[in-house]
Amino acid sequence: MPCKPILIVEDDDDIRDQMMHALEVEGYEVMLAENGKKALGLLTSLTPSQLPGCMILDLMMPEMDGKTLADVMMRDHKDLWGGIRVLIATATSSAAGSDNIPHAMQRIQKPFDLDEFYSAVERHCGKP
């Protein structure tokens, strides 16, 4: 049984496109959102069976940042969206502090190696 889709929330058009490409060539199904607000809209529009199993989340984004999105998902829709595993992909350097997301599985530091990206995705989101 193929694993559930992966949601990429990333404001930089090129990086979003490249991550999508990297996952698709490996056979993953990918969903895209360019900021937190768009991601919320997308998740709301999905039925439970359509929900992604995993989310690769940028932190610094316009409209709604990654931390706010993760907090809203856990606070308001934990029963529906609490099971979506969160991987952080960010260029900000500090792990501690205001942008800390306690339930995130892993933090990938930009710029990352493609191998590191794949192994994190495979560990937390499963094989395609």
Binding-site member from 3, 46, 77, 92 for other proteins (CB under 8 A): 92
Does an H or E element contain 125, and which? helix 114-125
Contact range with other proteins by CB under 8 A, out of 1-9, 20-28, 42-50, 73-81: 20-28
Contact set for other proteins, span 35-74 (CB under 8 A): 59-63, 65
Distance of CA 107 to the CA centre of its chain: 11
Using alpha carbons, select from 52, 56, 34, 35 the residue that is nearest to residue 43: 52
Number of residues that bind other proteins (CB under 8 A): 24
Contact with other proteins (CB under 8 A): which of 2, 78, 91, 119? Answer: 91
Q: Considering beta carbons, is residue 77 or 110 the nearer one to other proteins?
A: 110
